[in-house]
């Protein structure tokens, strides 16, 4: 099966499931975030195995971060994340590793901060009174629309490289198409609530923030993969690559969306 059709089939099966769990919210969505975080962390630490990350500290820190977001909001989420530092230090003291403490602990903590905090912000956004569900839907649909439009237009019309030193496959044509798609997706998703939640211009601003942050998140992972000399984080999702390849844009976009919604609402 070609990578293109693999992407289509996995998206058709996965997107409804993800949206359903987000619709339910609460512990079902927490479970989704926890599974995604652990799988993505596993992929990252496997790619960076030469740096000797303290895997157990990262897993514990990620779960504590998400649990904090679920139970106590932003303050507890940060508190859960800080446990990563404690566990990383303790495990380094007893681990048999030839890598330096700076490299080992930095790799461990960076993974938890990037992945767990990114998904944690989605949990916080879902907890917004009354409109949390539609806000998360807007983020997910905008990121998906951005990724799909950028991929298709980049393959068909892409000529000008966006960041060739980081990701040779990304083009300006794909970036522009993806940005337009994300803004349009945000607009249409939030249109019915324009008088109660976000106005039209605010929905457009949210879509633009999601597009820009998502592009940065995509390039961030590309920079890491290039540095670690790997093409994909894994093969779990077929043509999409690994879990981390699928959610890289979302991790940055969720943070941006959370603070944009706070600022506007």
pLDDT tens digit string along 64-117? 999 999 999 999 999 999 999 999 999 998 887 778 989 999 999 999 999 999
Model pLDDT, residue 242: 86
Percent of the chain whose predicted confidence (pLDDT) is above 70:
95
What is d(CA 258, CA 238) in angstroms, rounded to the nearest whole number? Answer: 30
Q: Please compute the mean of the pLDDT values over residues 230-251 and round it to a whole number.
A: 82
Q: Where are the domains of the chain?
A: 3-264
Model pLDDT, residue 169: 83
> First-to-last CA distance in the chain?
46
What is d(CA 43, CA 111) in angstroms, rounded to the nearest whole number? Answer: 10
Burial category of 137 from C-beta neighbours within 10 Å (exposed 0-12, middle 13-18, buried 19 and up): middle
Q: Please compute the mean of the pLDDT values over residues 166-187 and round it to a whole number.
A: 93
Q: Please compute the mean of the pLDDT values over residues 49-64 and round it to a whole number.
A: 95
Model pLDDT, residue 129: 87
On whether the CB atoms of residues 21 and 28 are closer than 8 A, the answer is yes
pLDDT in tens, 131-168: 999 999 999 999 999 999 998 999 899 888 998 888 88
pLDDT exceeds cutoff 70 at 15? yes
pLDDT exceeds cutoff 60 at 1? no
Model pLDDT, residue 5: 64
Model pLDDT, residue 4: 62
Mean of the per-residue pLDDT values for the chain? Answer: 92
What is d(CA 118, CA 255) in angstroms, rounded to the nearest whole number? Answer: 6
| Residue 186 CA, distance from chain mean position | 17
What is d(CA 260, CA 247) in angstroms, rounded to the nearest whole number? Answer: 20
């Amino acid at each position: 099966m070609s990578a293109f059709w693999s992407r289509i089939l996995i998206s058709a099966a996965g997107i409804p499931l993800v949206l359903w769990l987000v619709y339910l919210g609460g512990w079902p969505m927490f479970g989704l975030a926890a599974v995604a975080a652990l799988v993505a962390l596993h992929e990252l630490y496997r790619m960076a195995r030469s740096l000797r990350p303290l895997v157990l500290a990262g897993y514990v820190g990620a779960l504590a971060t998400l649990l904090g977001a679920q139970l106590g909001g932003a303050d507890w989420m940060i508190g859960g994340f800080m446990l990563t530092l404690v566990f990383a230090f303790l495990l380094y003291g007893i681990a048999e590793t030839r890598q330096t403490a700076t490299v080992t602990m930095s790799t461990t903590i960076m993974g938890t901060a990037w992945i767990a905090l990114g998904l944690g912000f989605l949990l916080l956004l879902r907890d917004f009174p009354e409109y949390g569900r539609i806000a998360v839907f807007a983020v997910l649909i905008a990121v998906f629309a951005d990724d799909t439009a950028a991929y298709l237009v980049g393959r068909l019309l892409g000529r000008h490289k966006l960041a060739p030193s980081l990701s040779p496959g990304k083009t300006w044509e794909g970036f522009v198409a993806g940005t337009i798609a994300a803004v349009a997706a945000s607009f249409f998703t939030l249109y019915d609530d324009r008088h109660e939640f976000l106005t039209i211009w605010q929905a457009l601003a949210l879509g633009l923030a999601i597009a820009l942050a998502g592009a940065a998140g995509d390039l961030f992972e590309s920079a890491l993969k290039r540095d670690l000399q790997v093409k994909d984080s894994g093969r779990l999702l077929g043509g999409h690559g690994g879990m981390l390849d699928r959610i890289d844009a979302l991790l940055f976009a969720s943070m941006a969306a959370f603070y944009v919604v706070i600022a506007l609402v």
